[in-house]
Amino acid sequence: MIELEYVLFLSAVLFSLGLFGVLARRNAVMILLAIELMLNAVNINLVAFTVYLSPDLLVGIIFAIFIITVAAAELALALAIVLRLYRTRSSVNVDEVNLMRW
Amino acid sequence: MHVGTGASIAFWIMAVVAVVSASGVILLKDIFRAALLLVVSFLSIAGIFVTLNADFIAAVQVLIYAGAISILLIFAILLTRDVQEGNPSNRLKIPGMFMGAVLLTALIVVFVNTEWRLSTEAPLDSTTAALADLLFSNKFVLAFEIASVLLLAAMIGAVVLARGEDE
């Protein structure tokens, strides 16, 4: 029998790894990879809550489906921006992209 | 939850695989290998969904994450990769590690100290039919339709952005 806490620990570990990746990487594509990892951790959490706390309502799983939809849209747009960035600057290093920083 | 020891063993194996491959994604120097490890992580998370009796979301995870999103990521990596510049950390490495550790500790303390009101009902054997009924019911059908508009807008936006204004 899997305790609810173990599933939550797993998603917490994955989310923290993703947070570290977002903060510490320079490559824009690597940051996107880490964001996908964090969204997956959130999905694990939502599914676990649905299964253990309210299996008759299924609302958490519906929410996870919408998160996957929004993640796909976000990733497509972000990759288009990254490709554009690479074409104009021939680099995807986020440290060098500080045009909008004051 | 009525799961046997088999499901429990499968859960632990896939949890270890997911965490190890996720650390590989974050720590590896080679971006392409990091993307391949991300696919391993997605697939083991799909396995975790199966052990949680969430069959539909496991299939969606394999189709969309391990299939579509990882292909898109690898495509972008191949188009933007500097020859072997690798994957250097920026100066936020130590603060980032600190923030991750603080968040992890806080989450674990909260999870351990919360009294979860566990449901006594058995989970559904197959969630797919129930999910379809719910998704197309009056509660969620508007959000479902808006999601399709969002995907269309994102698709048009991605085409416009990637093509540029000079053509």
- Domain extent listing, chain A: 4-89
CB contact under 8 A, B157 and A77: yes
Angstrom distance (rounded) from CA B42 to CA B54: 15
Q: Which residues of B touch A74 (CB under 8 A)?
A: 154
| pLDDT given at position A88 | 85
| pLDDT given at position B119 | 82
The half-sphere exposure of B60 on its side-chain side, counting CA atoms within 13 A, is: 21
CB contact under 8 A, B162 and A84: yes
- Shortest Cα distance, chain B CAs vs residue A87, angstroms: 9
Say if residues A84 and B157 touch (Cβ distance below 8 Å).
no
Choose from A17, A54, A57 for mutation: most chain B CBs within 10 A.
A17
Nearest C-alpha neighbor of B104 from the set A12, A93, A14 = A12
**What confidence tens digit (pLDDT) does each residue in B28-75 have?**
888 889 999 999 999 999 999 999 888 999 999 999 999 999 999 998
Contacts 24+ apart (CB under 8 A), A82-85: A82/A28, A82/A29, A82/A32, A82/B76, A82/B80, A83/B76, A83/B79, A83/B80, A83/B162, A84/B161, A84/B162, A84/B164, A85/A28
pLDDT averaged over 10-residue windows placed end to end, chain B, 167 residues:
75 94 90 92 94 91 92 88 61 86 94 87 82 91 94 94 73
Classify each residue of A23-56 as buried b or exposed e, where b means 16 or more C-beta atoms within 10 Å of its C-beta.
bbbbbbbbbbbbbbbbbbbbbbbbbbbbbbeebe
**What confidence tens digit (pLDDT) does each residue in A35-78 have?**
999 999 999 999 999 999 988 888 999 999 999 999 999 999 99
Q: Which residues of A touch B89 (CB under 8 A)?
A: 24-26
Question: What would the DSSP string read from start to end of A12-70?
Answer: HHHHHHHHHHHHHB-BHHHHHHHHHHHHHHHHHHHHHHHHHH-TTT-HHHHHHHHHHHH
Q: B88 vs A83, which has greater pLDDT?
A: A83
| pLDDT given at position B98 | 92
CB contact under 8 A, B158 and A79: yes
Q: Which residue does chain A place closest to B24, by CA atoms?
A: A17
| pLDDT given at position B24 | 93
| pLDDT given at position B124 | 76
Please, which residues 46-65 of chain A have a Cβ atom closer than 8 Å to chain B?
A: 47-48, 50-56, 58-59, 61-62, 64-65
Query: First-to-last CA distance in chain A?
Result: 54
| pLDDT given at position B21 | 95
Choose from A13, A46, A82 for mutation: most chain B CBs within 10 A.
A13
Q: Which residues of A touch B73 (CB under 8 A)?
A: 29, 32-33, 36, 75, 79
pLDDT grade for A101, boundaries at 50, 70 and 90:
confident
| pLDDT given at position A73 | 94
| pLDDT given at position B58 | 94
What domains can be seen in chain B, in order of their start residue? 5-86+124-166 (1.20.120.1200)
CB contact under 8 A, A30 and B87: yes
CB contact under 8 A, A24 and B93: yes
Q: What does CATH list as the number for A4-89?
A: 1.10.287.3510
Complex ipTM, two decimals?
A: 0.91
Q: Which residues of B touch A91 (CB under 8 A)?
A: 82
CB contact under 8 A, B93 and A65: no
| pLDDT given at position B93 | 83
Q: Which residue does chain A place closest to B80, by CA atoms?
A: A86
| pLDDT given at position A89 | 81
**What confidence tens digit (pLDDT) does each residue in A86-99 have?**
888 877 888 788 87
Question: What would the DSSP string read from start to end of chain B?
Answer: ----HHHHHHHHHHHHHHHHHHHHHHH-S-HHHHHHHHHHHHHHHHHHHHHTT-HHHHHHIIIIIIIIIHHHHHHHHHHH--TT----B-TTHHHHHHHHHHHHHHHHHHHHHS------SPPPS--HHHHHHHHTSTTTHHHHHHHHHHHHHHHHHHHHHHH-S--
